[in-house]
Structure 1
Amino acid sequence: MKILKLCWLLPAAALLLSCSLSNECELSERYTPGWTQFVLDRGFNLYEFRVSFEQIVEVYMGDCAADKYRNETRLKITSKAPCDQTINFIIEVTMGDDSYQVKKNDVAIRSNETIDFGIVKRGGSRIDLAGIDVAIYCPKCPGDE
């Protein structure tokens, strides 16, 4: 009789344990596509800038899926110009219905400095499938006139 109860109790315990574990929060998918390109300023074509997008996507399963879901795109720009400058830029990101534009004016940037603009887009398609057009406008450095 005790063996019969034990045979019934073990599968029931295993079922209860598996049901309780299925609601735990776990990361089911993560990808971080990126896009980096060196571009010359528009106008003078003298100064190089490194433009980088990084998209972080994390998909979770379980009770926390909606709270922990993450899809954000970050932007960084590095100046390779030989002097400190104030730049204006427009970046067109073409991704069908998820297309967007990042535009900033009067951004002070030092020579060889990287500025992290943080999150510029939440949600959307994969950035590595996008068409990206960068237009950076800046003055000439002293001595280049």
Structure 2
Amino acid sequence: MTTSSPSPPDYEALLRTAGVRITRPRRTILKILGEAGDHPDALEIFRRASVIDPSISLSTVYRTMRLLEEKGAIHRHAFGGGPSRFEQADQGHHDHLIDIDTGAVVEFRSDRIEALQDEIARELGYDIVFHRLELYARKRRQA
């Protein structure tokens, strides 16, 4: 089951309240991130933003992503030890399946998996505070 995509957060307002100046390059980066339907890494965000504004630097992308992560607006993932990839933090809990051949990331939520994790933690004498589930998979070949 795939999660639905909510409207993008107001990254500009968040950064302004943190005292960060919203420059034209930063506004372009925020637009790209807000419209991303995938889990882009910093280089991909840079590539997309450079199409709109060739003056954008990769260091501005990294600084902006760091600020957004510090403010809790985005989550950073390093799927399989690869480059850090980002997603909006306000999407609600979900897990990820990563296609090891293409790098595609599929979001899903399973009540059965959530219940099983809770059951296992309880049996071991724990309450889950936080968890992250990543499944690494390969597409089945059609017979």
Q: Normalising by structure 1, what TM-score? A: 0.25
Q: Which has the higher strand share?
A: 1
* Structure whose CA Rg is larger: 1
Q: Which has the higher helix share?
A: 2
